[in-house]
Amino acid sequence: MIEIRFHGRGGQGAVTSAELMAQTAIGSGKYAQAFPSFGPERRGAPVTAFLRISDEPIRIREKVYNPDVVVVLDPSVMSVTKVDAGLKDGGLMIINSAHPVESIRQQHGFTQKIATIDALTIALEVLRVPITNTVMMGALSKACGVATPDQVREPLMNRFGPALAPKNQEAFERAYNSIKAEG
């Protein structure tokens, strides 16, 4: 089982990311579970969402306290939330940032493996809105091997419809093909 925690701000799609990744995994024959850190929805406030993907049925319903992977949709959250809390040894952080990994590491004191993606630029270029969820899904899918562009196509279509799904598919694939992981 892989356990993933998403950090973003209300309106950026952290919850949607977790949900779509769960639907993608279930659609490709795996077991998955996604849920937000529940509360009144407020645009701009820090938001957490949780995702579990497994080859076996999933029973556990506690929050994800020791994730294998942390996905940060908005780098500004890193200044107000300890996003690497509980991250497993050998765990991975996937961060939306245009900055070099070394400077992120120094600024926040992260000790785990880091992969970065300039999701904001991709989102603005492809989607023309600063919503980074499908971009970060692409980065996560490539970095952890949890989904392919083909597997995500149907869930994206169900969620965004024929008008918006192709752009989101493109955003997903841009990230999937360009994520930079530390060597």
Chain contacts with other proteins (rule: CB under 8 A) = 18-19, 22-27, 31-36, 38-40, 59-63, 65, 155, 158
CB of 24 to other proteins, least distance (A): 8
Q: Which is nearer to other proteins, 107 or 158 (CB)?
A: 158
CB of 134 to other proteins, least distance (A): 16
Q: Which is nearer to other proteins, 18 or 115 (CB)?
A: 18
- Take residue 6 and report the two structure tokens written for it: 């998403």
CB 174 within 8 A of CB 124: no
Give the Cα separation of 72 and 74 in Å (integer).
6
- Take residue 58 and report the two structure tokens written for it: 């999933």
CB 73 within 8 A of CB 97: no
- Take residue 180 and report the two structure tokens written for it: 């930079």
Q: Which is nearer to other proteins, 75 or 155 (CB)?
A: 155
What amino acid occupies position 93?
M
Name the nearest CA neighbour of 126 among 159, 166, 86, 167: 167
CB of 62 to other proteins, least distance (A): 4
Q: Which is nearer to other proteins, 115 or 137 (CB)?
A: 137
